[in-house]
Amino acid sequence: MKKIISLMCILSISIGLSACNTFKGFGKDVERGGEKVQDAASDAQRK
């Protein structure tokens, strides 16, 4: 049972990391997300 749970955890983490372009790309993904929020806030202020 523990092996199945461990395997599921590892699989979930692997899928999550591959979606974020691996560890190296993770910071870039977060940065892009922050830029989008900042742009949206700037647009809202202009209105």
Q: Which amino acid is at 25?
A: G
Domain that holds residue 41: 2-46
Higher pLDDT, 6 or 24: 6
The answer, yes or no, to whether residue 19 has pLDDT greater than 70, is no
pTM here is 0.46
Contact 22, 31 (CB under 8 A): no
Number of domains within the chain: 1
Structure confidence by residue, pLDDT tens digits, 21-42: 566 777 788 888 889 888 888 8
| Mean pLDDT within 6-25 | 76
